Structure formats: structure tokens, C-alpha cells
Amino acid sequence: MSRDPAIPEGRPPAFSYLKVRKGLLRRSAGAVLCCEDIPLTTLAARYGTPLYVYSATTIRERMRAFQHAFRKSRHTVCYSIKANSNLGIMRLLAGEGCGFDVVSGGELARVLAVGSRSARKVVFSGVGKTREEMDAALKAGILLFNVESESELWALAECAGRMHKTARIAFRVNPDVPANTHPYISTGLHKHKFGVPIGEARALYAKASGARHLKVAGVSVHIGSQITDVEPFTATMERVAALVRELRDDGHKIEYVDAGGGLGIAYEKANLPEFSEYVAGYAEALLKPLRGLKVHLLLEPGRSIVGPAGALVTSVVYRKTNNSKKFLIVDAGMNDLLRPSLYSAFHEIVPVRWRGTDDGTRETLDVVGPVCETGDFFARDRELPIVDEGELLAILDAGAYGMALTSNYNTRPRPAEVLVAGKSAKLVRRRETVKEMLRSER
């Protein structure tokens, strides 16, 4: 295979078009979208569709960009598992020295499946932690509980006392900083369910410091997801830094600041810098307000690491025209990728086989799935090159909140997942079967 500069690039190094040559005379068979060095046509033929495909190289490189950007400060990257909880990806990130941000007992169980030592770099977030989940986290010896209410604080104190353990805590404070993102994933305003008002934090820390089995250790914050402007991060950290100084004046030993996650990606052709430069700007936005405080910074990136590393490969089942309205009906549905239906989210969609330079053979249509909902769509009124029934499409930037949000709606099995590294492809989740779906029912 060879690259053709006349062919539009995908999103290297994860996905790009390569010329494929076949036969004894090595004649050109056209260009095919590849994940690293493997054509998506090969993976679809081997594993079927719908199929999630991930680039291991992209995940590693983006993780290392975070490590490099924060190299001059004490920090731990705690990957946000909710973005993509596949064990293969988690093991890859653990191998890069990554910790984990969990929001449920199930996610903690995934961390322990990767390795019990990984629990030492776990922060436990979420507004509804149960006592059973707290017990499991205390037993595992996690790094930090991000406490989100006074009621949760006393529940944790009760669990820790019963187990004769000490729970390190940080209150997740709500700084009332607006973030320019979808309202469903904005979390930093007083009207949201997350965190405690920053103005009430000192009183809550005072109460926590009197509990025998709790250890005040940090301050936590998270203002939302898919944020591409770093200014809200700076405003947030300025408020957090002021709170840290006040808490230290009150006699608390604040070792950690958990800055949360939220750094966005370019789903559309947004004017974002190259990733290492982008993360460097994010690092400056967080670190500048914290200078002189000598805290250990915890980071919870998720989407920004795995989002562009994944694609959902789907087959065109039918072409359809209703009067003048055109549809491509594909075998993936909203149960396989919910974001367009849930958020009206944009995902770039490209043909897996490239027919050559753009000669104007394009059409405007909706890309929809087979689920019995009008909301089952991936794109509306999207201009795409003409593709025929039986051909493949790739829905890009689907590595985050793709497989994690899948369901069995319409009794549809969930897709398989493949992790690609160079010329090697590993099945990291086999395709679910209807028999497996029915097994637990009586």
C-alpha cells in the first residue's frame, strides 16, 4: 500500500486513505480507508459490521501529549473510563502509566480486572455513590473520593469506620463557571446536579476534618465536556486556587487538585491547533493559576484521548428515495452510536473506498439506521460522495461515547471492537449474540 497525495487524508495516524495494489502485476485497486496499516475493508470482511475500530498508536500518542504538556508539574493522568471502558484500551493506557477516573462500581471492577495495582491511581467521582460501591473502593485502596454532597460525606465516613479504613477525600466544588458546550454535558453551574457550591465548601471541609476515618486531601472540580476554549478552565482554576489558599489558612492539608476533564475535539473542521500544541495551551490554562501552591494535579481526560482514535464501520443496506428526499440506510443504528440522536452531534462520515478525485458526483441525503425511531440517524441533509448498496461507510471520531453508550434496543446485539497497532489487529470485544442477550431472562 502507498499514500496518494491526491487523495484526501483522513485523520492520521488513526485513519487515512491508502492506495491498495492487488494481483501479480500489482495493479492499483483504488484507495481504501485504513486504520494505521490495515484496510477497513479487511477488518469488515473478517469481523463483520457494524464494527468499532480503534488505533492504538493514536491513543498512545495523545496520552503522551498530555504527559509531556504537564511534565514540569506533579501530576497524574486519570483516564475517564466512561468515555470508552474497553479493557484492551484500559490496559494500553495503564501501560503508559495512566490512572483512572471512575463513576461506578462497575467501572472500578474494570480497573481491578486490568490490575489491582491500578486502584492506587483511581479517583472516584459521581453524585450517587452507593455504600456497596464505597466499600469496594475502600477495599481496593483507591487514591481519592470526590465527594459531591454532605449526605455522601457521612455515608462514606460510616463505611470507612465500619471497615476500619481511612478515606482520602476532596469535595467536588461547583465554581458556577459557564462552559460553551451542549447543555447535557455542561456541569459547572449552580443549577446542575454536580458538586457543592464553592461558597459552602469551607464549612463542609471543617465538618469533614472532624471525622475520624476521613482525611481531607484535595479539591476537585469539573465544569463539563467537549470544551474547546481554554478560558473557562483558567477561570475555574483561579477560583479553585483561591479556595485552596483559604482551606490551607483554615489548617487543612490540601495535597491534590483534581481539575477534571472536558477538553474537546474537532468533530467538524474546527480551527483547533495540532494536538500537542492544543494540550500545551490547556496545560498553561490550568497551571498558571496554581503556581506556587505546590499541589499534585489530577487530570481526567477521556474524549480527547480516545475520540479521534475510533471509527464505526457500517455497511450500506439500501438506498431509498421518498419523492425528492434521499436516504442511505445502513446496518448500524442509534443503539450502536447514540450521540447524533442524543445531542444532534456531528460526526464526519466518509466512504471506505475512495473512487478518485472529487468529480462532482456527490449527493445530499440522510444517513439512517434500521431502528424503528425517526431519531435513528447519523446525518441529516449531508453531502456525500455517491455510494452504492453493499459499500462501507466510516463514521469518524467515534472512539469516545460510542460503544460506551450502546444498548440492545430493538433486541439488536452490540458491535464487535477491534484494536489496531500497525499491521496487527486484535479483537478486544467479540460481537454480542441474540442468544447471549436472552440468556439472563426467564
- For 315, phi then psi, to 5°, come to -100, 145
* Strand locations in 309-361 (E): 310-322, 325-330, 349-351, 353-354
Extract the C-alpha cell encoding 308: 479521534
Catalytic residue among 34, 98, 159, 372: 372
Give strand pairing partners of 39: 34
Extract the C-alpha cell encoding 391: 459499500
Sign of CA pseudo-dihedral 44, 35, 99, 157: negative
Cα–Cα distance between 189 and 51 in angstroms, integer? 37
Cα-based angle 23, 29, 31 (whole degrees, multiple of 5): 145
What residues contact 320, with CB distance under 8 A and at least 6 apart? 326, 327, 328, 329
Q: Count of residues for the chain?
A: 442
Q: Could you confirm whether 372 is annotated as catalytic?
A: yes
Cα–Cα distance between 166 and 211 in angstroms, integer? 10
- Candidates 193, 180, 250; CA nearest to 219 is 250
Active-site annotation, residues: 372
